Structure 1
Amino acid sequence: MRSKSKPEWIAGLPEDWELSKVLWHYDVQLGKQLKEDEIEGDHLAPYLRNQDVQWWEVNTEDLPKMDFHPRERSKYELHQGDVLVCEGGEVGRSAVWDEENMECYFQKALHRVRPHSSEYDPRFFCYFMEFGKKSGLFSAGTNQSTIEHLTAEKLKRQVIPIPPVDEQEQLADYLDEERETINRLQSNYEELISRVLELINVKIRDTVTGGINHSNKKESGETWIGEIPEHWDVVRTRFVAELHSGHTPDRSNDEYWEDTDIPWVTTSDIKPFREGRKRYLHETDNQISEIGMENSGAHLLPERTVFLSRTASVGFSGIMSKPMATSQDFANWVCGEEIIPEYLLYVFRSMDQEFDRLMQGSTHKTIYMPDIKSFKTPLPPIEEQREIVEHIETETEQLWELIDRVDEAIDLLEEKRQALITAAVTGQIDISKEKGVIQGDD
């Protein structure tokens, strides 16, 4: 049955395709709500959570178990060919359940979409869901009063195109082939980026510890440093840079969190520094107030302070471009006359091996302050430090540009992938003429 009005995205739908609501062709079932008293019982069975369903992939390893009574099993059991759709989180994220002999069920955070006819290809439905998510189709159809959700009722009433069954399979096969090709190319590009990043890290580490064109070396006495030029020293970092910790004002005192205007570095600011390209922090995600700072262990640190994350995201570092305070998740270094911040920054970015040795904790990794006080740094003369920083910047500039170009290539592949999916699920592809649209070498 064809809908009275076509959505804009479906213009040009072939005449032999239907435009229907999901409920007319598929059974939609929301999963079972997890209850604490049902994690034990006589009918324990594995179940899927939202995080177990990623685009085109379903995790089946180390699944939790819940009690499913016999009367519930047919309602929540998964069959080969079912489509799993995320109800929350990344709304609409979907994958096909392809296990033939595995008993498994699903939690309330997921919908199970099962075609009324075994001839329907579940992959085509999954591709439509990917098109819908990437094009924003579901945003208008979700409940956004608190957290975005795609309810069963709204999913059932979502309008979808229904091609003839043989064409569903042909389109799904075609998109599978193109997806495999694009995934392979993207994987190769990502491997290239990984290798270039490692080359950058090696260049930084070798220059920070060995200088530029020095042949006369001596042992530093530190494993992570190795040999250094004969005229260099190795010193405790706190002897050339003042070490400061940070703090968080009492969150139960509302007065401390009013009129906040002091930049306050937290772990939420670390993400841009993970790759190792960004050097300076100009703005922070959070601020604290003057009174909050005065009544806590936090204090304002001067411009060009080097900060180093020591908990959660351990080992990431940057330089403050203006006075800032930090949370207790950071060790902060105010450089003295014998060391410049940019050189110290590159020292920290060479210390992965040392950070791995010093981290403690099974779940939340941390480097504790006594170990941070023991940090040592190779110390060239100040002018040589400036030369080293300039050399690193010059040597790595082209490598970062290469990474930019590869990132652009990955983005273009993803755009092509989405364009193909859009064309396929909206009937704009003549499958007999569209073989080999995406071509590429490994």
Structure 2
Amino acid sequence: MEWLNSTPAHWSKAPIKYLALAASSVFLDGDWIESKDLSDDGVRYITTGNIGEGFYKEQSSGFITEKTFNKLDCTEILEGDILISRLNKPIGRACLVSELNFKTVTSVDNVIFRTDESYNKKYLVYLFSSNYYFQHTGNLARGTTMQRISRGLLGNIRIPVPLLSEQVIITAFLDHETTKIDNLMEKQQQLIELLKEKRQAVISHAVTKGLNPDAPMKDSGVDWLGNIPEHWMLKRAKFIFRKMQRPISKHAGIITAFRDGHVTLRQNKRTDGFTFAIKEIGYQGVLKGDLVIHAMDGFAGAIGVSDSNGKCSPVCSVCIPHKKTQVYTSYYGYLVRQLAVTNFIQSLSKGIRERSTEFRFNEFSELPLPIPNYEEQIFIFKYIKRQEEKIDVLLQKQLQQIDLLKERRTALIAAAVTGKIDLRDWTPPASSTEASLAAEEATA
């Protein structure tokens, strides 16, 4: 492997599995636990989804009973273990197990790596987060639908192993430098969130208050609307829109209402993560310009105007105006989505899925909606599009900055764990905590 050829001459090299040779050490797969084995409480069960690139991801997890734990002869994860994911990109990503508030086991696609005491675990996790390592694990992975690497191949990967004292210094250096980079990325992310909030505030104000700050206002009598311009009328949605049930053409593509408000051909955004129906029972035609409301995901923002012709599932309400000369659908795409943004749909809370509310045309049709005059609807829509374009430019700049910082972070880790940066004489700034920690670990 090329990455080993360029490491310092005094560093050794060893297969990963050779770093766990002591009697108390472990390099083995997690447990084969099926859905039928899961329980509501007991021993916590975590999967590959909990393993991030160098960090543990706290997310939903299941449980198994103590009886199942004993029956399957499960291996308990201990604090200080390294978990390596053999499944899903980036393959081989790893994290260090810190505090565990539950007795815990993991899935078979995670390797439990309990190293010998002569290795610095944080150094190894950094190593398992480097692009050189991911390139190698990616080349070894096999599978058509879901790629994975076998524990045997993973364990045979040879990695650079500096002296323990250097491992400690490299870890302290990377802790110090990546923390600075992570703080910069966090600030960029905060700016992104502020820009998103600004965009939503612009949309909300424009579609419910209009664009004339001097316009006389009146109480709409509708909680989610509040005050509206005095000259706007209110009508129930069924008098503004009607529900369509068009036939579908033979080669029509599938239209999806996404939670970000985009309604488009599924192929325009992504195809992974969807279940494809064998029989498209009840599918209906959609035309460009139709208002589409997803009954199950509308609460989360899956409401908008289709930008394409195609077909969609019966879970969507496809709506067109009664009078196209009085109703500009693109304006109402933004307005109706406010029902989700303001949590009005969620407040209906009749859904059978967790965090979901069914919002079908029967519910929508009875809701009062404002009606600005037609020209004002167009003017509001065009204003929103201009503001969105400006904000999107700023968002893109922030995202580019984050990408550059990620690249810098990745390159720094790769250079440090392969010895391209000589850190033997590096010392942390006196004010940082790395100095004392490094000293303690080096003398431990």
TM-score bin (small chain): 0.7 to 0.9
Q: Using the TM superposition, give the Cα deviation of residue 145 of structure 1 relative to its aligned residue in structure 2, in angstroms.
A: 4.7
1:15-164 alignment runs, 5 A limit: 15-26=9-20, 27-34=26-33, 45-55=43-53, 56-57=55-56, 59=58, 64-66=63-65, 67-69=68-70, 72=73, 76-90=75-89, 91-99=91-99, 103-116=103-116, 118-132=117-131, 135-164=134-163
C-alpha separation between the residues in 1 aligned to 2:64 and 2:306? 48
Aligned mates of 2:420, 2:411 — CA distance in 1:
10
Aligned to 1:236: 236
- Asked whether 1:333 is paired with 2:325, we answer no
Match of 1:342 in 2: 330
Change (3 A) 1:328 1:177: farther
Single out whichever of 137-146 and 59-68 deviates more from structure 2: 59-68
SS of residue matched to 1:333: strand
SS at match of 1:266: strand
- For the 8 Å contact 1:246–1:328, the answer to whether it is kept is no
Are 1:299 and 2:288 matched, yes or no? no
Shift in CA distance, 165/197, structure 1 to aligned 2, threshold 3 Å: same
| Residue pair 1:359, 1:367 contacting (<8 A) in 2 also | no
* Counterparts of 2:241 and 2:133, CA distance in 1: 49
Change in Cα spacing, 1:325 to 1:179, as seen in structure 2 (3 Å) is: same
Within-5 A mapping of 1:186-265: 186-213=185-212, 214-244=214-244, 261-265=251-255
Aligned mates of 2:71, 2:350 — CA distance in 1 = 46
* TM-score, normalization by structure 1: 0.81
- Percent identity for Structure 1 against Structure 2: 22
> Which consecutive unaligned segments of at least 5 residues does structure 2 have?
21-25, 272-278, 430-444
Return the letter of the residue paired with 1:157: N
- Contact preservation (8 Å) 1:306, 1:320: yes
Match of 1:417 among 403, 409, 413: 409
Q: Distance in 1 between matches of 2:325 and 2:142?
A: 58
Aligned to 2:442: none
Aligned residue among 297, 300, 314 for 1:312? 297
Q: CA deviation at 1:34?
A: 1.9
3-state SS in 1 of match to 2:409: helix
Q: Name the count of aligned residue pairs.
A: 403
The amino acid that maps onto 2:48 is N
**Distance of aligned partners of 1:134 and 1:357 in 2 relative to their CA distance in 1, 3 Å threshold:** farther
Specify the alignment match of 1:408 in structure 2. 400
CA distance in 2, matches of 1:386, 1:220: 21
How far the C-alpha of 1:52 sits from its partner, in A, is 3.2
- RMSD between superposed Cα atoms in Å: 3.3
1:316 CA drift (Å): 2.1
Does residue 10 (structure 1) correspond to residue 4 (structure 2)? The answer is yes
1:435, distance to aligned residue in structure 2 (A): 7.3
Contact residue 207 and residue 388 of structure 1 kept, 8 A: yes
What is the alpha-carbon distance in structure 1 between the residues aligned to residue 59 and residue 335 of structure 2?
42
Residues 1:397 and 2:389 aligned together: yes
Change (3 A) 1:330 1:70: closer
- What is the SS of the residue equivalent to 1:300? strand
Distance 1:280 1:72 in 2: 49
1:397-417 CA distance string (max 9 Å, x none): 322221111111111111111
> 5+ residue gaps in structure 1?
1-6, 250-258, 287-291, 438-442
TM-score (norm 2): 0.80
- Cα distance in 1 for partners of 2:34, 2:384 equals 56
Contact 1:282/1:320 (8 A) holds in 2: no
Q: Secondary structure at the match of 2:388?
A: helix
Cα deviation for residue 50 of structure 1 reads 2.5
Distance 1:134 1:390, change over 3 A: farther
Please say which of residues 378-387 and 48-57 is displaced more in the overlay: 48-57
SS of 1:406's partner is: helix
